[in-house]
């Protein structure tokens, strides 16, 4: 398939997906489907942010729950104090989490590459402890409640929209997905993306061509964490409560599995992983009923993660790439054909 | 003895016991890291498994001598370690650090949730006769169990020094930690050394668990926090420095105990992380480490 | 032998190394080495295995921090600077075990070797999409030109991992030249490749040098060394034991003893 055809196919796929995203909730109006779609889109955004950090610059951050949770608390506690609504809260969360990422990144990106993983893991464990313990601030295990529903006034009019129903939240989430995709694509398909690849593949060689690895690791970490913070803020407005359980380590498990089973540092892999692992719990429910407790699901996830790491390090996306490459080689005549 | 001093000394003693516990746990982890350059995020869960094994053995319908239980737990944990190594570590040992990290995290998830499924999340505890056997030293009350832990820890460290310096196996481990490729070239079976290192770490962890769980509780998710503290100790001690990690473990134990006693018990676990960050900011090569070259 | 632009005696050195010393755990790898390279020269660094050649390279290019001594580039001290900063000053290098980016295409490997330099030369960092596109176009043109010279142009869109060893070496070499650095440091350019490729490499190096490119080469292949060098520096156990024209070095008893008589 020559480049022009491939471009055409990609465009078609994008348009079709966009139409599906917008239309499906109208067709299948049930609460179940809408919740499923909200989950899928949420995890896609989350995974895109995570992939920037853990995939593109190979900085395995085990601390995304921190940015997510604190972003949620910012929207719940800080934003109203500053008179910020939904949008302001999200932007504030994004900004503050990006700054936090820069500060912690400077400390954690030292000594060995694994120090970053250790530091972010520590941050995740400690942050949840503190959220549980600082009951005066966060309400502890009893959660912070009473977060306002998003409310917008359309410009140039007096019309005010208040987001209450899940389907409304869904359509509110879609532009956020679009922004996340745009940021992801712009970063990774540019010179910056090329620099990311050098940092990921060979830091020594990267330095030898003039790339300062720390700069790009911090950039990816800050952007990824900012996006995550914004997503946390959204979640706060969606559920209208923020509990320390939102910062649990099982978020990290799901992120790891979406990105590394899907295919790290590849958009296609991340999206596929997000789709798969939003649907998987529901399928397990259908098949196993109540027998499949959360613990069993986590065990399954853990097993999948280990198996994929051992046998399919490039994830499912890697499998697809290898298969298509083999098919392309079997048909050399097609390469000669000029369209 | 004045009350303030008595309280302080009790906290210090607790801290030493805690430090000994952390040091024994960290030892297994730093051995693996130093010899085969692998950070095992599931290490704390190995301790958890040993702890539950110890708990089960202590609660059998018939009474086993404590010494026998300790040996059984050590052997069992060694076996667990070998199984884990063969199944999950062996295939990825030559891969990137990222693969190591993610695989061992996956392992940790499996182990923690398997324990949750089998045991439920309630903490378990079984005191032993040693734990309830309190003696008095200079007016301080301390259980024999704690003395045993400290004594055993010291013995293990001295024993390890001897082992690494005097025995053939120990020398092989040192060789592999210094230059893996060269070892393969001179006929050292690196894979075998890796497995033995893992097993050794497992046995030491088992010993620690058998001694400590009578004093503290076991619960399925205890591994995460333990792994974190062990990792903090390794980083604080200077990556790859076994002795540094041990000293750092004791420091963590003592500071944590003092913090728990004088500041806040609920937030005591923040101490290890706080120390970790301080060291990273102000002395990244570790408290006891040397500056290492980049290539 | 080479004939090229004569070097004026009082041109300031491009690279100056004074008393460079590097230790590993008490073992001295580089011992008080002095060295000067003038613009336009082609200098080779030779010595038995383990004599400290690559360590010296790593100290100059910032990958290792020396325990003692200084490195000056165009008069400015660069000792212990970060390697990516040193690269942007105008020094490029290749590696003993060839390093390229396996996931990037041949063309992308070239582009990434140039992009940091381009951004450095831009006044201010406020870049519109348009000017980036122009930069990319210029970079691509320069890259393809170089790739044609090393006969890799037909592989421009192949990913790095699909290249064989010899092709990788050529790519690494081309990447070292694309930003038009003032000093190119090659670590064993003739190692592990066929005789034909060795000749090709020799020709590329000599052609570039004829155009004024300064080279600092570590090499084991004596034929290559004798053919291309204007001056040879010999290291043994980290100490500089000889320096001079190829004819002098060939017959220097200390050099012969270092290589053969131990």
- Mean pLDDT over B3-23 rounds to 87
> What confidence tens digit (pLDDT) does each residue in A2-21 have?
667 777 887 888 888 888 88
**Domain B3-282, CATH class in plain words:** mainly alpha
Q: Which residues are CB-contacts of C225 (< 8 A; sequence separation ≥ 6)?
A: C44, C46, C217, C219, C232, C246
| pLDDT grade for B131, boundaries at 50, 70 and 90 | low
> What confidence tens digit (pLDDT) does each residue in B15-34 have?
998 899 999 999 999 988 88
Mutual angle of helices C106-120 and C129-149, in 10-degree steps: 130
Q: Provide the greatest CA pair distance for chain B.
A: 64
Q: Does the pLDDT value for residue A330 go beyond 90?
A: no
Q: Does the pLDDT value for residue C179 go beyond 70?
A: yes
- The closest of B31, B15, B13 to B204, measured between CA atoms, is B31
Asked if B292 contacts B285 with a C-beta cutoff of 8 angstroms, the reply is yes
- Would you state the pLDDT for residue B292? 46
| Strand B134-137 with A241-242, pairing | unpaired
Q: Which residue has the tokens 């000669």?
A: A336
CA distance C206 to C180: 15
CA quadruple A87, A93, A94, A100: dihedral, nearest 10: 170
- Mean pLDDT over B184-193 rounds to 81
- Mean pLDDT over B173-181 rounds to 79
Q: Is C45 helix (H, G, I), strand (E, B) or coil?
A: strand
Chain C positions with Cβ closer than 8 Å to B: 24, 58, 63-65
| pLDDT grade for A231, boundaries at 50, 70 and 90 | very high
Q: Which residue has the tokens 């951004």?
A: C119
Q: Which of A44-58, A140-154, B196-210 has the lowest mean pLDDT?
A: A140-154
Q: Does the pLDDT value for residue C187 go beyond 80?
A: yes
- Our CA-based measurement puts residue B235 at a distance from the nearest CA of chain C, in whole angstroms, of 21
Q: Is A254 helix (H, G, I), strand (E, B) or coil?
A: helix
Q: Does the pLDDT value for residue C81 go beyond 80?
A: yes
Query: Is the CB of B269 less than 8 angstroms away from the CB of A126?
Result: yes
A296, two tokens: 């069993």
| pLDDT grade for A326, boundaries at 50, 70 and 90 | confident
CA distance B71 to C168: 56
**What mean pLDDT, rounded, does chain A reach?**
86
3-state secondary structure C180-213: CCCEEEEECCCCCCCHHHHHHHHHHHHHHHHCCC
CA distance C210 to C188: 20
- Taking CA–CA distances from A60, the nearest residue in chain B reads B98
Q: Does the pLDDT value for residue B185 go beyond 50?
A: yes
Q: Which residue has the tokens 């699901």?
A: A297
- Our CA-based measurement puts residue B294 at a distance from the nearest CA of chain C, in whole angstroms, of 6
Q: Which residues are CB-contacts of C172 (< 8 A; sequence separation ≥ 6)?
A: C94, C95, C98, C99, C100
> What confidence tens digit (pLDDT) does each residue in C6-18 have?
556 678 889 999 9
Asked if B205 contacts B47 with a C-beta cutoff of 8 angstroms, the reply is yes
Q: Does the pLDDT value for residue C214 go beyond 80?
A: yes
Determine phi and psi for C236, rounding to 5 degrees.
-145, 125
| Strand C231-236 with C42-46, pairing | parallel
CA distance B176 to B35: 6
Helices (H), ranges, A59-211: 64-73, 79-81, 86-108, 113-133, 135-138, 166-188, 191-201, 203-208
C-alpha A56, offset from chain centre: 13
Burial of residue B266, with CB atoms counted within 10 A of its CB: 0-12 exposed, 13-18 middle, 19 or more buried: middle
Query: Is the CB of B98 less than 8 angstroms away from the CB of A107?
Result: no
Query: Is the CB of B106 less than 8 angstroms away from the CB of A58?
Result: no
- Would you state the pLDDT for residue B128? 64
- The closest of B273, C84, B97, B293 to A107, measured between CA atoms, is B273
Q: Which of A281-295, C15-29, C224-238 has the lowest mean pLDDT?
A: A281-295
Q: Does the pLDDT value for residue C124 go beyond 60?
A: no
B226, two tokens: 């333990």
| pLDDT grade for A291, boundaries at 50, 70 and 90 | low
Determine phi and psi for A210, rounding to 5 degrees.
95, 5
Q: Does the pLDDT value for residue A277 go beyond 60?
A: yes
**What mean pLDDT, rounded, does chain C reach?**
88
Range(s) of the domain holding residue A49: 3-336
How big is chain B by its Cα radius of gyration, in Å? 19
- Mean pLDDT over A49-72 rounds to 94
> What confidence tens digit (pLDDT) does each residue in A77-111 have?
888 888 888 888 899 999 999 999 999 999 899 87
Write the DSSP symbol of residue B141. E
Write the DSSP symbol of residue A54. I
> What confidence tens digit (pLDDT) does each residue in B28-70 have?
999 888 888 889 999 999 999 999 998 888 888 787 788 888 9
- Would you state the pLDDT for residue C123? 45
Q: Does the pLDDT value for residue B76 go beyond 90?
A: yes
Give the C-alpha distances (Å, rounded to integers) separating B208 from B155, C30, C221: 12, 46, 57
Contacts of B293 in chain C (CB under 8 A): 24, 64-65
Q: Does the pLDDT value for residue C3 go beyond 60?
A: no
Query: Is the CB of B295 less than 8 angstroms away from the CB of C63?
Result: yes
Q: Which of A201-210, B142-151, B218-227, C183-192 has the lowest mean pLDDT?
A: B142-151
Query: Is the CB of A299 less than 8 angstroms away from the CB of B117?
Result: yes
- Taking CA–CA distances from A3, the nearest residue in chain C reads C157
3-state secondary structure A228-250: HHHHHHHHHHHHCEECHHHHCCH
- Would you state the pLDDT for residue B140? 65
Q: Does the pLDDT value for residue A71 go beyond 70?
A: yes
Asked if A223 contacts A183 with a C-beta cutoff of 8 angstroms, the reply is yes
- Would you state the pLDDT for residue C120? 59
Q: Where are the domains of chain B?
A: 3-282
Element (H, E) at C242: strand C239-244
- Would you state the pLDDT for residue A80? 83
CA distance A47 to A228: 9
Question: What is the CATH classification number for the domain harbouring A95?
Answer: 1.10.3470
- Would you state the pLDDT for residue B295? 26
CA distance A263 to A318: 6
Question: Of the candidates C82, C112, C175, which has its C-beta nearest A194's C-beta?
Answer: C112
Q: Which of B63-67, C37-41, C135-139, C229-233 has the lowest mean pLDDT?
A: B63-67
> What confidence tens digit (pLDDT) does each residue in A120-132 have?
999 998 888 888 8
- Taking CA–CA distances from C82, the nearest residue in chain B reads B294
Beta-carbon pairs below 8 A across chains A and B? 122
Contacts of B295 in chain A (CB under 8 A): 204
Q: Is A70 helix (H, G, I), strand (E, B) or coil?
A: helix
- Give me the residues paired with residue C71 across strands: C17
A123, two tokens: 């941050």
CA distance B241 to B237: 6
Write the DSSP symbol of residue A170. H
Instruction: Please tell me the pTM assigned to this model.
Output: 0.90
Contacts of C85 in chain A (CB under 8 A): 212
- Mean pLDDT over B118-144 rounds to 69
Q: Which of B206-210, C130-134, C205-209 has the lowest mean pLDDT?
A: C130-134
CA distance A298 to B108: 10
- Our CA-based measurement puts residue A33 at a distance from the nearest CA of chain C, in whole angstroms, of 39
Q: Which residues are CB-contacts of B223 (< 8 A; sequence separation ≥ 6)?
A: B42, B43, B44, B45, B46, B47, B48, B108, B111, B112
- Would you state the pLDDT for residue A338? 42
C85, two tokens: 């900063």
Query: Is the CB of C116 less than 8 angstroms away from the CB of A211?
Result: yes
Of the two residues A245 and B20, the one the predictor is more confident about is B20
Q: Which residues are CB-contacts of C174 (< 8 A; sequence separation ≥ 6)?
A: C110, C146, C147, C149, C150, C152
Element (H, E) at C29: strand C27-37
**What mean pLDDT, rounded, does chain B reach?**
85
| pLDDT grade for A331, boundaries at 50, 70 and 90 | low
Contacts of C64 in chain B (CB under 8 A): 293-295
User: How many residues would you count in chain A?
Assistant: 339
User: How many residues would you count in chain B?
Assistant: 295
């Amino acid at each position: 398939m020559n480049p022009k055809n491939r471009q055409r196919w990609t465009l078609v796929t994008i348009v079709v997906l966009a139409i599906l995203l917008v239309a499906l909730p109208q067709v299948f109006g049930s609460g179940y489907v809408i919740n499923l779609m909200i989950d899928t889109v949420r995890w896609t955004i989350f995974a895109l942010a995570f992939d920037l950090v853990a995939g593109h610059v190979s900085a395995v951050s085990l601390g995304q729950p921190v940015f997510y949770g604190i972003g949620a608390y910012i929207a719940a506690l800080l934003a109203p104090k500053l008179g910020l609504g939904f949008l302001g809260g999200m932007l504030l969360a994004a900004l503050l989490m990006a700054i936090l990422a820069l500060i912690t990144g400077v400390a954690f990106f030292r000594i060995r590459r694994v120090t970053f993983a250790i530091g972010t893991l520590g941050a995740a464990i400690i942050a949840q402890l503190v959220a549980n313990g600082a009951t005066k601030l966060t309400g502890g295990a009893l959660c912070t409640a009473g977060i306002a529903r998003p409310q917008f006034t359309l410009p140039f009019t007096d019309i005010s929209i208040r987001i209450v129903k899940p389907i409304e939240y869904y359509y509110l989430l879609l532009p956020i997905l679009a922004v996340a995709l745009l940021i992801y694509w712009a970063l990774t398909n540019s010179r910056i993306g090329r620099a990311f690849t050098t940092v990921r593949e060979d830091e020594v060689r990267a330095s030898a061509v003039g790339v300062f690895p720390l700069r790009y690791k911090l950039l990816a970490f800050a952007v990824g964490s900012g996006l995550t913070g914004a997503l946390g803020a959204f979640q706060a407005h969606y559920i209208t409560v923020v509990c320390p359980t939102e910062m649990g380590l099982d978020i990290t498990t799901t992120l790891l599995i979406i990105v590394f089973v899907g295919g790290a540092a590849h958009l296609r892999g991340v999206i596929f992983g997000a789709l798969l692992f939003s649907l998987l719990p529901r399928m397990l429910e259908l098949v196993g009923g109540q027998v499949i407790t959360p613990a069993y699901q986590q065990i399954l996830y853990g097993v999948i993660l280990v198996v994929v790491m051992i046998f399919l390090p490039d994830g499912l996306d890697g499998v697809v790439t290898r298969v298509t490459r083999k098919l392309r080689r079997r048909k050399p005549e097609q390469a000669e054909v000029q369209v | 003895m004045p009350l303030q001093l008595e309280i302080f000394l009790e906290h210090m003693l607790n801290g030493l016991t805690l430090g000994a516990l952390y040091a024994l746990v960290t030892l297994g982890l730093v051995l693996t890291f130093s010899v085969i350059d692998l950070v095992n995020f599931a290490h704390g869960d190995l301790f958890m498994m040993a702890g539950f094994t110890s708990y089960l053995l202590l609660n059998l319908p018939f009474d086993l001598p404590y010494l026998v239980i300790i040996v059984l737990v050590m052997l069992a944990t060694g076996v667990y370690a070998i199984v884990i190594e063969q199944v999950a570590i062996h295939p990825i040992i030559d891969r990137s650090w990222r693969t190591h990290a993610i695989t061992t995290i996956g392992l940790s998830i499996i182990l923690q949730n398997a324990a949750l499924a089998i045991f439920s999340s309630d903490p378990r505890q079984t005191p032993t006769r040693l734990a309830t056997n309190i003696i008095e030293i200079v007016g301080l009350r301390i259980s024999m169990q704690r003395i045993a832990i400290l004594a055993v820890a010291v013995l293990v460290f001295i024993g390890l020094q001897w082992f690494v310096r005097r025995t053939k196996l120990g020398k092989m481990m040192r060789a592999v930690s210094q230059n893996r490729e060269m070892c393969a070239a001179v006929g050292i079976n690196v894979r075998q050394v890796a497995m033995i290192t893992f097993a050794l770490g497992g046995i030491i962890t088992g010993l620690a668990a058998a001694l400590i769980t009578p004093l503290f509780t076991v619960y399925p998710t205890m591994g995460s926090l333990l792994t974190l503290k062990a990792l903090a100790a390794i980083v604080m001690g200077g990556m790859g420095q076994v002795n540094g990690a041990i000293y750092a473990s004791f420091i963590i134990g003592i500071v944590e105990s003092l913090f728990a006693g004088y500041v806040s018990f609920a937030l005591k676990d923040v101490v290890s992380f706080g120390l970790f960050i301080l060291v990273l900011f102000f002395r990244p090569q570790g408290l006891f480490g040397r500056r290492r070259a980049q290539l | 032998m080479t004939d090229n632009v004569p070097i004026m005696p009082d041109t300031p050195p491009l690279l100056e190394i004074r008393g460079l010393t590097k230790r590993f755990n008490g073992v001295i790898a580089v011992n008080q080495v002095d060295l000067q390279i003038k613009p336009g020269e082609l200098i080779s660094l030779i010595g038995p295995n383990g004599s400290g050649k690559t360590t010296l390279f790593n100290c100059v290019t910032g990958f290792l921090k020396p325990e003692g001594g200084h490195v000056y580039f165009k008069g400015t001290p660069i000792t212990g600077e970060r390697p990516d900063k040193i690269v942007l000053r105008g020094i490029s290098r290749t590696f003993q075990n060839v390093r390229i980016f396996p996931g990037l295409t041949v063309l992308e490997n070239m582009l990434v070797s140039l992009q940091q330099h381009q951004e450095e030369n831009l006044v201010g960092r406020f870049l519109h999409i348009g000017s980036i596109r122009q930069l990319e176009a210029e970079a691509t043109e320069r890259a393809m030109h170089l790739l044609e010279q090393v006969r890799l142009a037909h592989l421009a869109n192949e990913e790095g991992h699909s290249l064989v060893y010899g092709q990788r070496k050529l790519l690494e070499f081309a990447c070292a030249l694309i930003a038009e650095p003032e000093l190119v440091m090659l670590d064993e350019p003739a190692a592990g490749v066929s005789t034909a490729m060795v000749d090709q490499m020799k020709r590329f190096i000599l052609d570039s040098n004829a155009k004024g490119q300064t080279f600092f080469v570590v090499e084991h292949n004596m034929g290559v060394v004798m053919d291309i060098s204007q001056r040879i520096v010999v290291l043994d156990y980290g100490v500089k034991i000889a320096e001079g024209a190829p004819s002098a070095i060939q017959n220097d008893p200390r050099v012969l003893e270092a290589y053969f008589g131990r």
